[in-house]
């Protein structure tokens, strides 16, 4: 399941190869390029997906006009797509006549859980660390070239870190787990990451250059762990420690409010190390 960051260098498709070899292609066949490869080819599918995402991100559904305004789609296309999605069962009308996700989305969720699997050993490890530390804990890993949260366990502390439970990636340069797994990656993978990273400054503490991150990698390899020092969010410090399962390397993370992490850093690190060591006893 786990994939490393995308490697540098272009990947040539058969259509590109034919064009480069001087072979004639039919006039109605477009040569796929790096620019067009990541662009949806079927506009209606892209538009329908934008509607589903829009509805999914709303707390109680949306009216048709609200969907049209948020997606920027033409009025007629919006109503046609809403009708189709409703007939298919991916959308339905609520008692307030808002469009909400339909029951067939449940089939997608079930399939996603099966395909986007997280090893049970990893889930159990995260739960034990959260229970012992009282802090929000989670596991991250590479998936389709991005860094995603695979499993999350909320802490029991009255004031705990708020960490999204969604399987979302991005901002790898600002996350303890991202810095850790990049430091442990090979140079080709790191070079591919740097070639596409925009180094967006999420806070005043975010590392915003390749040189700064590479210096951090050296510290991570020396210490055996990575720390997000309010680089992703002000007031939050995250500790990430590597663990290997089934030939894949994951990041075990604990996020704590900065002041409390300063007081508990060594304790939290020892809890993670102790729980990881138990995995190796079996």
CATH code, 45: 1.10.10.10
| Whole-number Å distance between alpha carbons of 231 and 233 | 6
**End-of-domain residue from the set 75, 108, 141:** 108
Asked if residue 245 and residue 201 are part of one domain, the reply reads yes
Rg (CA), the chain: 22
Asked if residue 253 and residue 171 are part of one domain, the reply reads yes
| Mean local confidence (pLDDT), 23-29 | 47
Beta carbons of 65 and 20 less than 8 angstroms apart: no
The answer to whether residue 219 is domain-embedded is: yes
Q: What is the pLDDT of residues 82-93, one digit of tens each?
A: 999 999 999 999
Residue 161 has phi, psi (to 5 degrees) of: -70, 140
How many structural domains are present in the chain?
A: 2
Q: Which domain holds residue 214?
A: 118-279
Q: How many of the other CB atoms lie within 10 Å of CB of 141?
A: 24
| Whole-number Å distance between alpha carbons of 225 and 221 | 7
The answer to whether residue 8 is domain-embedded is: no
Asked if residue 195 and residue 151 are part of one domain, the reply reads yes
Q: Using CB atoms within 10 A of its CB, is residue 260 exposed (0-12), middle (13-18) or buried (19+)?
A: middle
**End-of-domain residue from the set 108, 136, 171:** 108
pLDDT over 80 (residue 229): yes
**End-of-domain residue from the set 108, 140, 174:** 108
Closest C-alpha among 250, 108, 85 to residue 176:
250
The answer to which of 101-105, 111-115, 224-228, 256-260 has the lowest mean pLDDT is: 111-115
pLDDT over 90 (residue 47): yes
223: left (phi over 0), alpha (psi -120 to 50) or beta: alpha
Beta carbons of 63 and 75 less than 8 angstroms apart: no
Q: What is the pLDDT of residues 160-194, one digit of tens each?
A: 555 554 555 678 999 999 999 999 999 999 999 99
pLDDT attached to residue 162: 58
pLDDT over 60 (residue 16): no
112 contact partners, CB below 8 Å, separation of at least 6: none
Asked if residue 204 and residue 64 are part of one domain, the reply reads no
| Mean local confidence (pLDDT), 26-52 | 72
| Whole-number Å distance between alpha carbons of 73 and 65 | 10
What DSSP character marks residue 146? E
The answer to which of 34-48, 216-230, 247-261 has the lowest mean pLDDT is: 34-48
Asked if residue 274 and residue 135 are part of one domain, the reply reads yes
| Mean local confidence (pLDDT), 12-35 | 43
| Whole-number Å distance between alpha carbons of 145 and 2 | 9
């Amino acid at each position: 399941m786990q994939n490393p960051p995308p490697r540098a260098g272009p990947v040539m498709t058969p259509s590109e190869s034919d064009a480069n070899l001087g072979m004639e292609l039919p006039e109605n066949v477009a040569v796929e390029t790096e620019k067009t490869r990541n662009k949806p080819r079927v506009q209606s599918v892209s538009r329908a997906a934008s509607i589903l995402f829009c509805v999914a991100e709303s707390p109680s559904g949306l009216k048709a006009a609200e969907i049209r305004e948020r997606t920027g789609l033409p009025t007629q296309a919006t109503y046609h797509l809403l009708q189709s999605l409703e007939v298919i069962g991916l959308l339905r009308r609520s008692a307030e006549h808002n469009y909400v996700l339909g029951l067939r989305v449940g089939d997608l969720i079930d399939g996603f859980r099966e395909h986007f699997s997280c090893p049970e050993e990893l889930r159990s490890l995260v739960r034990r660390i959260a229970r012992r530390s009282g802090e929000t804990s989670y596991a991250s890993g590479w998936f389709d070239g991005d860094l995603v949260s695979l499993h999350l366990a909320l802490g029991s502390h009255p004031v705990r870190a708020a960490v999204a439970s969604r399987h979302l990636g991005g901002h790898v340069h600002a996350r303890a787990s991202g810095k850790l797994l990049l430091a442990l990656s090979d140079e080709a993978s790191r070079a591919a990451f740097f070639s596409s990273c925009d180094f967006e400054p999420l806070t005043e503490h975010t590392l915003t250059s390749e040189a700064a991150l590479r210096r951090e990698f050296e510290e991570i390899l020396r210490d055996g762990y990575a720390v997000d020092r309010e680089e992703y969010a002000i007031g939050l410090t995250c500790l990430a420690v590597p663990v290997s399962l089934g030939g894949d390397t994951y990041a075990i993370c604990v996020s704590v409010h900065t002041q409390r992490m300063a007081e508990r850093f060594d304790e939290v690190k020892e809890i993670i190390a102790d729980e990881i060591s138990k995995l190796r006893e079996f």
